[in-house]
Structure 1
Amino acid sequence: MRAIANDVKTNVLKEQFIPDHLFLYIIQGEVSFFDGNKSYTYRAGECCIARKNHLVKFILNSQTSEFEPIMFCFDEEFLRQFQQKHQSKPLKMATDRAIIKLDQADLIDSFIRSIKPYYKGAMELDEAFEDLKYEELLIILLKTKPELSGVFFDFGIPQKINLEAYMNRNFRFNVSLGQFAYLTGRSLSAFKRDFKAVFGETPSRWLVKKRLQEAYVLLEKERRRPSDIYLDLGFESLSHFSIAFKKAFGVVPSSLQTN
């Protein structure tokens, strides 16, 4: 039920919406995260928490031949049972960042070594030890960084937030309108209505226009290549990006490289 590790072959991971809190430990390789504001890079021996209900892009270092992560996904049912069992009271977390870096800790390193005997198949834990190891890891994380209780035991849904600021920060993420609506604390119909009131057009049209405007700046001013930016800007394919760009500006993206 809970995948704890995975071999990653592609340079860009498309999982951008985080549905459950995720613990990530890097065994080998290097990965960078972009959360709409900043980029964070983690290397072998480092670990972090990716918070649920956030948008994040995962980009593997192109110089890394292999990437081996250890991942534990904490679903809400498990966290509620843990909180009830241990009577844990949530502390206030000082940051709302999507990615929370964890300092090096002997307890975490020892835990990672301890799970190796329980691997089976495609890097999954033996079911007989799964709940025990999840509980052990969570105890270690809360002991190492107590304020994480305010993250793990916050079971509320996203509250209604400033739509203009959120969309201008996250327009590069290729997620559904339903997910944008949920993350801004709205139903889909309310999201579309509020969006039209704020931006004067539909979400779909605004997103394409905003992404293309950003692309034009990157191509003309920063001399970036179309193949390097289309995924970062939320386009599913290079051909889709090229067609939309030509329709908007009358030229193909690559033509800006020769000016």
Structure 2
Amino acid sequence: MVNIYDNTLDNPNYYRQFSCGESLITLYNCPLKNKYQDVWCQHNYFIYVIEGTKRWHTAQGTFELTENTCVFVRKGAAISEQLSDDKFCLVMFFVPDDFICEVLKSKTSPIYRSDETFHTVMPIINDNYVQAFFKSIMHFFEARYEPEKALLELKFRELILTVAGNLNNREMLAYFGALLHEPQAISLQKVMESNYCYNLKLEAYAKLVNRSLSAFKRDFRKQFDTTPGKWLLEKRLIHARNLLVNTNKTVSEAAFESGFESVSHFSRAFRGRFGLTPISVKNPVFA
């Protein structure tokens, strides 16, 4: 999977970018290379679409991003799909959890924990304030000089306070409340439940929950009473079986959409767990 944050940092000549600490602004002006791409990021990010259409496929469903769409994407994995041969241009703001929390704590009106459900991709109301903000950002990319770091930090703060000030951004505000008030154990569980079906390494899961690898393994065992590897295998196999039984997915599609690196590995693990081959579950006549 492609880490879109690291990939951006590693290619400054390809992606025009400005950074302030771990926070990062970049302009993607993308010709079509691969229609589908598996992506993940250890930071949350905002997307503002300037041109083109893309879909983000997540564990909760599919979200279509079109021109002038603004969304907030919480850290984790997804599959991006470009819908045409035309270029796709967008502005992305990567913002770490701790920076978001620091800014939110400065608000005059506090954000509380909410029972509102939030998904991986959350729509942002594209009101006049949001449009004006992103128009101001485009001047950075048009200028020949690098903006001051202090100004960049102010722009990151402005973005978070602008969207958090609109009470109609209910999903995003629920997520912000979770960042501020949820215990780490609940956060770990939500990250794992949202991302188990992607082929991420354990080091990536550790980054998503803001832990070292050793701390992640220790806390995971304390909470789930098993190792991350065993838990992931079980969740992926059950997910794959549900895809085979309840959808038109092929064995190969079910394997890759459940986080397995290869069909052969998936088939061996599936037979070891259920005593049947994936094809016999998909087509009982072969059982």
TM-score (norm 2): 0.63
Question: What is the match of residue 192 of structure 1?
Answer: 221
Letter in 2 for 1:66: K
Question: What is the match of residue 223 of structure 1?
Answer: 248
The percent identity for this pair of structures is 18
Task: Kindly indicate whether the alpha-carbon contact (under 8 Å) linking 2:113 and 2:181 is maintained by their aligned counterparts in 1.
Answer: no
Structure 2 unaligned regions, length at least 5: 1-18
Question: What is the match of residue 264 of structure 2?
Answer: 242
Using the TM superposition, give the Cα deviation of residue 71 of structure 1 relative to its aligned residue in structure 2, in angstroms: 1.0
Using the TM superposition, give the Cα deviation of residue 96 of structure 1 relative to its aligned residue in structure 2, in angstroms: 4.7
Alignment partner of 2:92: what SS?
A: strand
Using the TM superposition, give the Cα deviation of residue 58 of structure 1 relative to its aligned residue in structure 2, in angstroms: 3.7
Q: How many residues align?
A: 244
1:91 to 87, 96, 111: 111
Alignment of 1:50 with 2:79, yes or no, is: no
Task: Kindly indicate whether the alpha-carbon contact (under 8 Å) linking 1:21 and 1:152 is maintained by their aligned counterparts in 2.
Answer: no
- Correspondence 1:1-259 to 2 at 5 A: 1=19, 2-7=24-29, 9-10=33-34, 11-15=36-40, 18-27=41-50, 28-34=52-58, 36-51=59-74, 54-63=75-84, 65-75=86-96, 78-79=99-100, 82=103, 88-92=108-112, 94=114, 95-97=116-118, 98-119=120-141, 126-128=146-148, 129-145=151-167, 151=176, 154-155=179-180, 158-161=183-186, 170-177=195-202, 179=205, 183=209, 187-196=216-225, 202-219=227-244, 222-236=247-261, 240-246=262-268, 248-249=270-271
What is the rounded CA distance, in whole Å, between the counterparts of 2:187 and 2:127 in structure 1? 37
What is the rounded CA distance, in whole Å, between the counterparts of 1:109 and 1:152 in structure 2? 25
What is the rounded CA distance, in whole Å, between the counterparts of 2:95 and 2:68 in structure 1? 21
Q: In structure 2, do the counterparts of structure 1 residues 69 and 251 end up closer, same or farther at CA, with 3 Å as the change threshold?
A: same
Q: In structure 2, do the counterparts of structure 1 residues 221 and 23 end up closer, same or farther at CA, with 3 Å as the change threshold?
A: closer
Using the TM superposition, give the Cα deviation of residue 108 of structure 1 relative to its aligned residue in structure 2, in angstroms: 1.4
Letter in 1 for 2:42: P
Task: Kindly indicate whether the alpha-carbon contact (under 8 Å) linking 2:46 and 2:93 is maintained by their aligned counterparts in 1.
Answer: yes
Deviations 1:178-227, CA, capped at 9 Å, x for gaps: 6369749985224225434xxxx644234224423433443455332345
What is the rounded CA distance, in whole Å, between the counterparts of 1:226 and 1:102 in structure 2? 37
Of the structure 1 ranges 107-116 and 175-184, higher mean CA displacement relative to structure 2 is found in 175-184
Using the TM superposition, give the Cα deviation of residue 56 of structure 1 relative to its aligned residue in structure 2, in angstroms: 4.0
What is the rounded CA distance, in whole Å, between the counterparts of 2:157 and 2:142 in structure 1? 19
Letter in 1 for 2:56: S
Q: In structure 2, do the counterparts of structure 1 residues 74 and 161 end up closer, same or farther at CA, with 3 Å as the change threshold?
A: closer
Of the structure 1 ranges 36-45 and 105-114, higher mean CA displacement relative to structure 2 is found in 36-45
Alignment partner of 1:127: what SS?
A: coil
